[in-house]
Each structure stands twice: as C-alpha cells, then as structure tokens.
C-alpha cells in the first residue's frame, strides 16, 4: 500500500459517524416504539417487521464503527422481532432494555 491510512481513516470515520448517527438514533426510535407497543400488547405485524429490519441494519453497521456490543444487541433484537416475540412480559422488558442500551451506546460514541 505504501500509505499510512490510520489517521486519515480515523478522521473520515468520525465525520461519517457525525453524519450518520442521527439515522442510527432514528432506527433505535423504531426499536423503542416496537418495545413499547409490545409492552402494551399492541405490536402490529407492520411495526414488528419494521423493527426487525431496523435492527438488522443496526447490526450490520454499529460494529463497523467499533460498537460491537451494539451489533450483538441489535442481532438479538432482530432475531426476536423476526421470530415474533409474542406477548411475554419478560421479552418485552428485555427488548425495551436492548433499545435503551443501544440508545446509550450510540449517544456515547464520539
């Protein structure tokens, strides 16, 4: 390669993070809405599929920005929504906690 990409890519990644973190926060908002609907026993198929899709996207991108815990949590949420989480109270609580943790992780990354 003959180049030192570290500093250049670090700076560029920071810029991309600033640009795309609102989009990631919006994806977490969908997960929060789905978890709230599940808790209320009002999760529609449409919102469940949307939550699964947004979780899938978060799983694919968060680790790229170094948030590997976020990728694992998002994968868990994707799987839960894809498989239909039903109405079990502990599942709703768990998915609520995942959304909250994802919110924290994304907000904390600089």
Partner 1 sequence: MLHTSHKTSNTANWPPRQADEFLENGREYSEMHRILIIDDEDDIREVAALSLETVAGWEVMVANSGAQGLARASQYQPDAILLDVMMPGMDGPTTFRELRKNPTTAHIPVLLLTAKVQATDQRRFADLGVEAVLVKPFDPLTLSEQVKSILGWN
Instruction: Enumerate binding residues for partner 1 (CB under 8 A).
Output: 1-3, 5-6, 8-9, 12-13, 15-16, 19-20, 23-24, 56-57, 59-65, 68, 71, 75
Instruction: State both tokens at 39.
Output: 């808790």
Side-chain-facing half-sphere of 22: CA atoms under 13 Å: 3
Shortest approach of partner 1 to residue 59 CB, angstroms?
5
Nearer to partner 1, 16 or 107 (CB): 16
Cβ atoms of residues 106 and 25 within 8 Å: yes
Q: Retrieve residue 66's tokens.
A: 């170094």
CB 72 → partner 1: shortest distance, Å? 10
Residue 91 phi/psi, 5-degree rounding, is -65, -45
Q: Which is nearer to partner 1, 9 or 42 (CB)?
A: 9
């Amino acid at each position: 390669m003959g180049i030192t990409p570290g500093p250049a890519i670090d700076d560029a990644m920071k810029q991309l993070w600033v640009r795309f973190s609102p989009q990631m926060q919006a994806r977490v908002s969908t997960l929060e809405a789905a978890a709230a609907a599940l808790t209320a026993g009002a999760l529609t198929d449409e919102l469940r599929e949307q939550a699964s899709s947004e979780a899938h996207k978060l799983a694919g991108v968060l680790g790229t920005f170094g948030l590997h815990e976020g990728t694992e949590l998002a994968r868990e949420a994707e799987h839960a929504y894809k498989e239909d989480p039903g109405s079990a109270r502990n599942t709703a609580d768990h998915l609520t906690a995942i959304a909250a943790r994802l919110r924290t992780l994304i907000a904390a990354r600089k």
